[in-house]
Amino acid sequence: MMNRAFANDPLWISLVERFREACVLRRNGRHAESEHLLQNELPQQITAWSKQPLPAGVDRRSALETMFQEEQRRVEEAFFVQKLVATQIEEQILPKLCFMIAEEIRDVVRAEARAGRSLGENLARRMTQSPARPRVQFDEPALDTEPHLQAA
C-alpha cells in the first residue's frame, strides 16, 4: 500500500484526511462543501506535498491515484457497513426494545390496577415523587477495601 510509505508525513496525512472528508461529504449529499474541498483546498495541499522530496522510486502521481482509489473504497465500505448496522437496529433491536418497554408499561399498569389506583392518580403520584431509581444496582465498595494512598 502506498499510504504506508508516507505514514509519518504530516502533509500526506492531512491530504488523505481532507480527501476522505470530501468523499464523506459527497456521500452525505453535501456536494457544495465537497466541491469546495476538492477545488480549493486539496489542490493547495497536493502542491505543498509535491514540493517535498520523496524516497527514490516513488511516483507522486501513482501515490495520489492509489490514495484516491483507496479512500473512495474505504468510504463506500463504511457507508455499506453503516447501512447494515442501521438495518439490523431497525429490524431486530428496536422491535425487541419496544416489546420490552411495552411489557414494563403493562406490568406497571397491572400493578397499579391491582392496587386500586387509576392511571391518572398513578401519574400524578409519580410526578410528585423523587426520580426513579435505576433498575441496575451497583455494589458500593466497602470503606475498608478501598485502596489507600500513602506518602513515600
Model pLDDT, residue 22: 96
Confidence of residue 139 (pLDDT cuts 50, 70, 90): low
pLDDT digits (tens, 9 = 90+) for 102-122: 998 888 888 877 777 666 676
Model pLDDT, residue 34: 95
User: Is 5 in contact with 63 (CB distance < 8 Å)?
Assistant: yes
Model pLDDT, residue 57: 77
Say which range, 8-22, 113-127, 128-142, has the weakest mean pLDDT: 128-142
Q: Please state, rounded to an integer, the average pLDDT across all residues of the chain.
A: 82
- Check pLDDT > 60 for residue 133: no
Model pLDDT, residue 52: 86
Grid cell 502521481 — which residue?
61
Distances (CA, A) of 32 to 23, 29, 42, 104: 12, 9, 14, 47
Model pLDDT, residue 9: 87
Grid cell 500513602 — which residue?
150
Say which range, 25-39, 79-93, 122-136, has the weakest mean pLDDT: 122-136
Confidence of residue 1 (pLDDT cuts 50, 70, 90): very low
Confidence of residue 152 (pLDDT cuts 50, 70, 90): very low
User: Is 71 in contact with 23 (CB distance < 8 Å)?
Assistant: yes
User: Is 23 in contact with 75 (CB distance < 8 Å)?
Assistant: yes
User: Is 5 in contact with 55 (CB distance < 8 Å)?
Assistant: yes
Domain ranges of the chain: 3-128
pTM across the whole model: 0.61
Grid coordinates of 116: 386500586
User: Is 71 in contact with 19 (CB distance < 8 Å)?
Assistant: yes
